[in-house]
A and B are shown apart, each in its own frame.
Chain A
Amino acid sequence: DIQMTQSPSTLSASVGDRVTITCRASQSISRWLAWYQQKPGKAPKLLIYKASSLESGVPSRFSGSGSGTEFTLTISSLQPDDFATYYCQQYNSYSRAFGQGTKVEI
């Protein structure tokens, strides 16, 4: 099974900061990677698919990059609404594993 590892687990940042979250796959997943945002008590929301494609309606301050085993989610200028937990997910193989999550806090 493909394992997904996110870092860091927690990230302290301020409004306006540039934030980068990393996701590593235990084997190549090409570009079959998605990023989700989840706020407390809410369902996850898809932000990025196929490593770098921005989902409709998602602000352009969010961007994704990478291929193979190394991927990043970048928030160019952190906004108050962006404090949340972020998850990566591979969908190259049937297991569709998630990373453990990165909590972005003040």
Chain B
Amino acid sequence: QVQLVESGGGVVQPGGSLRLSCAASGFSFSGYGMHWLRQVAGKGLEWVAFIRYDGTNKDYADSVKGRYTISRDNSKNTLYLQMNSLRTEDTAVYYCAKEHLGGTAGYWGQGTLVTVSS
């Protein structure tokens, strides 16, 4: 069965950096696009970034463009999110998700918490 396990979350100071990972199993990782999404505690969902199955196309939300970089290593079945110049408003649970038919987020991982605080 599909499994997505996020890791790398933690506490970081404003202006700092963090790299999240998402280990995928149970499906052909190299054949699917992947998303990162986030949710502030008690608030709604926000799409963050998407990467095509082969890594040739990447999209970003305006709120993270120029600060975050999505990447993948298909040989390791792993998705990454490099987050730089972090702000307090980036504090959230970050989820990775497998692309569904037509491009939406299908199966989601359980998330990893990122806290940006001094």
Contact = CB atoms under 8 A, between A and B. Distances in A.
Interface of A: 1, 32, 34, 36, 38, 42-46, 49-50, 53, 55, 87, 89, 91, 94-101
B108 A94 contact: no
B103 A91 contact: yes
Interface of B: 44-47, 50, 59, 61-62, 95, 100-111
Given A1-B62, A43-B95, A46-B100, A98 B105 contact: no
B45 A89 contact: yes
A97 B107 contact: no
A50 B101 contact: yes
Contact of A100 (B44, B100, B101): B44
A101 B110 CA distance: 19
B3 to A, nearest CB: 12
Contacts of A89: 45, 47, 104-105
A38 B100 CA distance: 17
Contact of B45 (A49, A55, A87): A87
A44 B102 contact: no
B61 A101 contact: no
A91 B44 contact: no
Given A95-B61, A95-B62, A96-B50, A46 B45 contact: no
A99 B50 CA distance: 19
B112 to A, nearest CB: 11
